[in-house]
Amino acid sequence: MVQSKAKSVAEYLKEADAARRPALAQFRKIAREVLSDCDEVMDYGMAAYRRGGELVTAFANQKGYIAFYAGQTAIAAHKAALKGIDCGKGCIRYKNIAKIDFAVVRSLFENIAARKR
């Protein structure tokens, strides 16, 4: 699923295959807890979080991985914890959902929240 036509994040999660749905639901749960001042929206066909209309972060169920758009600063701050995970400039690509450390994901969201206020 490269770009979803879902109207809500809840609908987006229902579209996901059963194997990935729990991980995506955990991303959503953490995002809603940590980014409680953000609006949860569907943007660019993925789950996104906006504050004052500005995109703060997003995650997506891609064909071969779960993408988390954490940004360069958050990724750099978690370089050691993300060792062995495929990271681009601002995106983390979790190809193996079993390797997702949700404590690190929470810390990434907290880093994003602290910088984007």
pLDDT in tens, 21-43: 999 999 999 999 999 999 999 99
DSSP helix, strand, coil percent of the chain (3-state; round to 5): 40, 25, 40
pLDDT in tens, 4-17: 888 999 999 999 99
* Listed residue (112, 32, 47, 100) closest to 76, CA to CA: 112
pLDDT in tens, 54-86: 999 999 999 999 999 999 999 999 999 999 999
74 C-beta neighbours (distance < 10 Å), count: 23
Domains and CATH numbers, the chain: 9-115 (3.90.1150.200)
pLDDT in tens, 39-54: 999 999 999 999 999 9
pLDDT at 111 over 70: yes
Give the bridge partners for 113, in sequence order. Answer: none
